[in-house]
Amino acid sequence: MALDCASFGRSQPNPRSALLSGLSPVIHPPANEPSAIVLETANTLELVERVLRGKLHAALGVGPLSDPDLWLHRVGREGFSACLPRNHRLAQKVGVTAHDLDGEMVFWMPRSLQPRFYGRVMKYIGSLGVRPIFREVKGEAHALEFAARGFGLALLPRSAAHISHAGTVFKPLTDRYLGIETVLFMRRDQRYGDLKGLVDDLFSQLLALNIEIN
C-alpha cells in the first residue's frame, strides 16, 4: 500500500505537524514480498474525493469534514502562531489574541486549499467583531517572507515556529477556538475485515502520538 501525505507549505512531512495524509489502495506484490509505503502529496478535498471513489482506502485530512458515507475520527489538533516582524507592535506580547488581529494585514493559506476550514475560521473571527485584512499566499515560505519584510503578520501552524527567519518572532495565538483539527477518515462501507483492522491500528498509533500542539 502507499501512504499519501501533504502539509500546507512544508517541504517534507512531519508526523506531528502534517496537516494532510492518506492511505492509498493496496498494491498486491508477489506472495513472498511485503507491500511498500510511498510518500506522496494531496490536499483534503482531493483525499475525500479519492476515498469516496474508492481510489484511497483511508486518509488523514483537515476538519471539519461531514459526509454520511464517511467514518471519521479526530486524531489531533494544532494551534496557530503569529509570525511578526521584530518591530511590530505585537512583538513584545507573550501571546496574540484574535482581537489583536483587528485591522492587521494577515498572510494566510488560500481559501481554495481548505474551503470549509477557511470559512469556519472567517466566521468565528467575524463573530468577534474583528476585521483583519487577509491576503492569501502560496505557502509558509511566502508568508514568512512577507512578515520579514514588514508587510504584515503570517498566520501559521504552531509547529512552524521552529523555522528561523531573520527579523521575525513567533507568538502563540492564544484563542482556544482557533486551531487545525486533523481527522482520520474512510468509507463506512469498507469498515470490515483486514482493512478495518489496519485503519483501527493506525488510529490507535496516531492517538498514542498525542498530536496536540497548543
- List the domain boundaries for the chain: 3-75+179-213, 79-172
**What would the pLDDT profile of 114-135 be if each residue is shown by its tens digit?**
888 899 899 999 999 999 999 9
pTM of the model: 0.68
Instruction: Enter the CATH code of domain 3-75+179-213.
Output: 3.40.190
Fold match flag (3-75+179-213 vs 79-172): yes
Q: Look up residue 1 and give its three cell numbers.
A: 500500500
Q: Which residue has the cell 474512510?
A: 186
Task: Tell me the pairing of strands 58-62 and 105-108.
Answer: unpaired
d(CA 33, CA 12): 28
Q: From first to last of its 214 residues, what are the pLDDT tens digits of the chain?
A: 233 333 332 333 333 333 333 333 333 343 433 344 444 567 788 888 888 998 888 888 888 888 899 998 888 888 899 999 999 999 999 999 999 999 999 999 888 888 888 998 999 999 999 999 999 998 888 898 999 999 999 998 888 877 777 889 999 999 888 888 888 898 999 888 888 888 888 788 777 766 654 4
The secondary element (H helix, E strand) that includes residue 212 is strand 211-213
Of 154, 183, 189, 202, the closest CA to residue 44 belongs to: 183
Residues 6+ apart with CB under 8 A from 33: none
pLDDT, residue 106, reads: 95
- Tell me whether residue 120 is exposed, middle or buried, using C-beta atoms within 10 angstroms of its C-beta: 0 to 12, 13 to 18, 19 or more: middle
d(CA 172, CA 77): 14
Give the Cα-Cα-Cα angle 89, 152, 83 (nearest 5 degrees).
Answer: 75
**What would the pLDDT profile of 20-47 be if each residue is shown by its tens digit?**
333 333 333 434 333 444 445 677 888 8
Please report the beta strands in 33-92, taking only residues with DSSP state E, as ranges in sequence order.
39-40, 58-62, 70-85
d(CA 181, CA 62): 6
Instruction: Enter the CATH code of domain 79-172.
Output: 3.40.190.10
Residues 6+ apart with CB under 8 A from 41: 4, 5, 6
